[in-house]
Structure 1
């Protein structure tokens, strides 16, 4: 294993981003080192905290922005010179000049504060209509203060008004390095439809600003928190000073499939895609293909949010700083990352939709699952394409309360179609569904491959045999993950088929199966999502008054419980498998 250390990067004063010190390889020992490395990082953080402080991996702190104290020490919201928030003090923003500048420039460019309204979870004693008494409706300190009472804050909703509510969230992200640009584009496209599925399956944020929401995920909060579009760009006024009507925030779901393989039908990119035509033409004139040119020129419909004067003059032949300034402030469910100049780093794909889980075991399970699924996509030439508009619809459905158990999602019916039509032979696998791994004995590989042959064209020369509308249907989470009889194998079956191509020790197989069993049980409903567990914890707390309010007492007990669950002191069989041990028995390691 190449990991020699771990890294911590402060994002906001109450959150840290942690990563392995070096990338993992494709070996099975590296795959199984993920949880130990995560736990080591947690143990390391714990050593630097006070006795009454604990490091928790929690998507959104439930009482961020409440009236009264929610930080130590207490700071007045009136100090919010960057955001002008009614709820968050300036001290909640990272003091590095980039972050207050980013916060202020979003507000200035937009022409108002951001306005996020989450539907309130209506309990038996929640006042109706709910007009939030904790909003300082009559504050008159900043020019934007009247916005709340002038319509920005909706009845029966939780109103959030600053970038800190979104960028103060935590998530689980994975970055993959591909062998070449073609493989990177295939992997990027293959994972796009997976984004909303795993958002729902990792749902972990049902409480905001001291209130229970009727949604389970963070996504629309972050999208709204950095939405710098003007009224013209949002379609509220005719275009006059701006160039584009822009359908989405700069933080939102992917807008364009970009693979050049024949499996990427033009009909899949069915959303309106504004792009800078001058940049598009320049890229085309320099040899880039249509889809990649549209991808890049679509990024550049956004203005830069932060520019440092000392970095304005750049040699673009040796520096990508200007590109990264735009690229890094387009936050989507996936990010397509070109190689930096003069570097051995290759083409990368970043998977960004998942919510962070409360334990290292859960986080490792989802990391391992996505890694194995990404290898299956490339190894078997799997086809997950559905129209991009259906992916957007799935993103909205994924955030609904209890979506993993109750929701339906658009998903492709035949994921092997491209394999069969390009001439790959297949027979029935143990799942009863067609599988590319079941065409005879294969030599098992010692590690996960990173380079794959291109997908051959169909043998008969006919690219498409069915209308796009016939290629997908609505499926439950259980069907998508665990399959639906002979009709659809399920993502777990695909992962197991891929594992069958690897030479894995029996002991390692057992360890991997523990992770995959968590995914299986989340999908079939026998284990709860963190969001469901948190909501149930709040509603069953003795101090809860059935009024949707998460009080300081409830929140404190919740944080204690989450820490105890991670350490294995508190057992929660509805959330975690019975054999979960936790961090008290294993402080983790960095694999050396």
Structure 2
């Protein structure tokens, strides 16, 4: 969510008055940072994940389930005994007072055996949270969103919306559900005030046999579109949960490569991890959270949306990246950027700030700062970066470039931001491991995934549609073995199955990963676990296993209380979350995660390399790891 600064937050009028000052010093801080860190290098990749959890309270007698607004109490109790943890974990606030974010206490290293620790670490985090809870009535789940968030009485303790309040002014979402840390209500209020009205979120409803046609809930609210589920608060987006992956590269150039190459993959992974088909108690025609959050933090005025101008924002603060960091040719969307900031960055004559980097930063600076604290205005631009981060951390994109913080030994990082939270730790660990393995395989084989950014943006739109894994096609590059960034791309539209598993002409991402790990001498346990992770991705892509969104939708559609009217009732939600809780705690769900099998070959402690050379598709080309060709 960003850096959690403590202090007195400034309202929008005071922040607006300081906008030029914050931007000027933010640019200076970035220049000084890049000049200081230009020689920073590391041996080997480091990485880590961030998982966001939802807290729940059950009323079994009434068959009700509530979002449990107990974050602060849990964090206070966790802080008291964190030092006694078997595996130290970091827990922090998130936007909702019903959310907690967790990360490993230290990053994982560039070692295959670390992949064994991912699921162990995730299980440990969940265990530590569960130790605080009444196991009969409370639980913590990794769901992307709560299906009835915004419905009457969805939270505990009970709270009512405050349409005339000074924060969200929502008719659905109580301000008590916003985490009391000053950053979160301040962001909510300032986005609304800068915009000049509440945010407007409209998600197309899933039309079933008995769904009203047209579907109109609020005829007197102009912002509420027909045949859409209407929401009006930042909490509907930022109250969603996800997994975010941070990669610390060996140097700046590797960070740029990771940023660009992984950006192309973000919509593919989002479609595979789709987990959010229900909003405010209705089945919807989308499977992902992305556009909901985008609308939830859109602070542009009506005039700015209608007439953005040459340097105005064409999209929300939450969007797809607008330029690559190493390829001018494929950065084809011509993003708006602050010309004065761009000029200042180039004239600073800092080795690390080339034209593409300057344009990337200047694009961030077309926005106004929307979060500032009275005690953090007059800063030392040589040692502080708060003003740079006030813009950097409120531009939420599918990838984020993160320079080293001053005064630390942290390196150049990029953040992968499109993975939706899955029900089980196994699924979450699989997505994390898949991204790590892909990043290593891409680097090892010098893969080239570049396609025009305009096509990446189209892919992001398609990835959110209902059953996108099975029904949509995505632009992807066939000649990924070409090592030159600017070579002519052979781009076609492929299904997720073809992109992940390959076809007669394209090998598939998983075969690239298999070719990479086939060269490694792996412990049997590690190799078996990696196999199970890759298998999950392949079977989700082929449709043999359901995405989380498809499973949630199927549960509702087949529930005995469902009336074919798109409504997800309180009792249906109770049954759904009880089932999710049981699956989280070990109940088999073969349609979602398949049947996990451990090999009985206990005498073979190392994985046979030739086992990766068996192709699920006999017509798919085989990768020659030495010549780097198919």
TM-score, with structure 1 as normaliser: 0.84
Calculate the aligned-residue CA RMSD, in Å.
1.7
SS at structure 2 position matched to 1:28: coil
Report the alpha carbon displacement of residue 229 of structure 1 after superposing the two structures with TM. Answer: 1.1
| 2:32 matches 1:32 | no
2:513 maps to 1:495? yes
The DSSP-based 3-state class of the residue aligned with 1:301 is coil
Q: 1:82 aligns with which of 157, 167, 185?
A: 167
1:395 Cα deviation from its structure 2 partner: 0.5
For the pair 1:475 / 2:546, whether they are aligned, the reply is no
Contact 1:232–1:245 (8 Å) recurs in 2: no
**What are the equivalent positions in structure 2 for 1:274-313 lying under 5 Å apart?**
274-287=336-349, 288-313=353-378
- The superposition leaves residues 173-213 of structure 1 with CA deviations (integer Å, 9 ceiling, x where unpaired) of 11010011000000100101100000000000000000000
Mapped contact 1:81–1:90 kept (Cα < 8 A): no
Q: Deviations over 1:68-113 (max 9, x none)?
A: 2111121111265301111001101111111111001101111111
Pick the aligned partner of 1:14 from 84, 98, 108. 98
Provide the residue aligned with 1:65 in structure 2: 150
Residue 7 of structure 1, CA deviation: 1.2
In 1, Cα distance between equivalents of 2:337 and 2:389: 17
Match status 1:113 vs 2:192:
no
Distance 1:390 1:83 in 2: 35
Tell me which of 397, 400, 405 is aligned to 1:335: 400
| Aligned with 2:176 (options 91, 97, 104) | 91
| In structure 2, C-alpha distance between the alignment counterparts of 1:500 and 1:255, rounded to whole Å | 36
Structure 2 match to 1:390:
455
The alignment covers a number of residue pairs equal to 509
Aligned counterpart for 1:42 among listed residues 126, 137, 140: 126
Task: State the Cα distance separating 1:404 from its structure 2 match.
Answer: 0.7
Alignment of 1:555-574 (within 5 A): 555-569=573-587, 571-574=588-591
- Spell out the pairing of 1:575-586 with structure 2 (5 A cutoff): 575-579=592-596
- Residue in structure 1 matched with residue 330 of structure 2 by the alignment: 268
Note the residue ranges of structure 2 that are not aligned, 5 or more in a row.
Answer: 1-45, 49-85, 599-630
| 1:363 equivalenced with 2:409 (yes/no) | no
Match status 1:226 vs 2:297: yes
In structure 2, the partner of 1:510 is 528
Q: Deviations over 1:521-579 (max 9, x none)?
A: 0011100000000001011111111100000000000000001011123x321111223
Q: 1:324 Cα deviation (Å)?
A: 1.0
CA distance in 2, matches of 1:334, 1:494: 22
Where structure 1 has 5 or more consecutive residues not aligned to the other structure, the ranges are: 138-148, 422-454, 456-462, 582-592
Q: Does 1:247 align with 2:331?
A: no
Within 2, Cα distance between the matches of 1:530 and 1:369?
17
Aligned partner of 1:443 in structure 2 is none
Q: What is the CA–CA distance in structure 1 between the aligned matches of 2:564 and 2:542, rounded to whole Å? A: 29
**CA distance in 1 between partners of 2:227 and 2:421 (Å):** 27
Structure 1 runs of 4+ aligned residues shifted over 4 Å read: 1-4
Aligned-pair distance for 1:379? 1.6
Distance 2:517 2:561 in 1: 48
Deviation at 1:29, TM superposition (A): 2.1
2:17 matched to which residue of 1?
none
How far has the Cα of 1:4 moved from its partner? 4.3
Q: Aligned partners of 1:36, 1:385: CA distance in 2, in Å? A: 35
Q: What pairs up with 1:339-418 in 2 under 5 angstroms?
A: 339-418=404-483
Secondary structure in structure 1 of the residue aligned to 2:590: coil
Contact (CA 8 Å) 1:409, 1:474: kept in 2 or not? yes
Q: 1:433-465: per-residue Cα shift (whole Å, max 9, x none)?
A: xxxxxxxxxxxxxxxxxxxxxx9xxxxxxx64x
Q: Is the 8 A contact 2:286 2:466 kept in 1?
A: yes
- Structural mapping, 1:123-142, within 5 Å: 123-132=208-217
How far did 1:247 drift?
Answer: 1.4
8 A contact 1:233–1:244 mirrored in 2: no
Paired residues for 1:204-215 under 5 Å: 204-215=275-286
Does the 8 Å CA contact 1:206/1:534 hold for their aligned counterparts? yes
SS of the equivalent of 2:285 reads coil
Distance in 2, matches of 1:100 and 1:63, equals 22
When normalised by structure 2's length, the TM-score is 0.79
User: Which residue does the alignment assign to 1:200?
Assistant: 271
Q: SS at 1:557's partner residue? A: helix
1:554 equivalent to 2:621? Answer: no
- Matched residue, 1:160: 231
